[in-house]
Amino acid sequence: MASIAIRIGLKDLERAVDTLSPADKLRLIQRLERQTWGARIGRLLARIDARVKRRPLPEGKISALVEQVRQELYAQRGR
């Protein structure tokens, strides 16, 4: 079986997508999301890491926040 490769520009691709039905657009979105998941999660983790490096939380503050949430959860269970 022979195959043919066609190179099209982004504008042509966008015009082609515009002609798709809503159901086909959703299928395309789902496929693109699966194919780009790794890159998107990598960018998200890099943003989180950069934010943490810019504004690090001291260990004592983290412990205090954990204890505060723990106490709130204990209080909710006691109701």
pLDDT tens for each residue of the chain, 79 residues long: 788 888 999 999 999 999 999 999 999 999 999 999 999 999 999 999 999 899 988 899 999 999 999 999 999 987 6
Task: Give residue 27's pLDDT.
Answer: 97
Task: Give residue 79's pLDDT.
Answer: 66
Cα–Cα distance, 39 to 54 (Å, whole number): 23
Residues 17-54, buried b or exposed e (16+ Cβ, 10 A)?
eeeeeeeeeeeeeeeeeeeeeeeeeeeeeeeeeeeeee
Q: If you count them, how many residues does the chain have?
A: 79
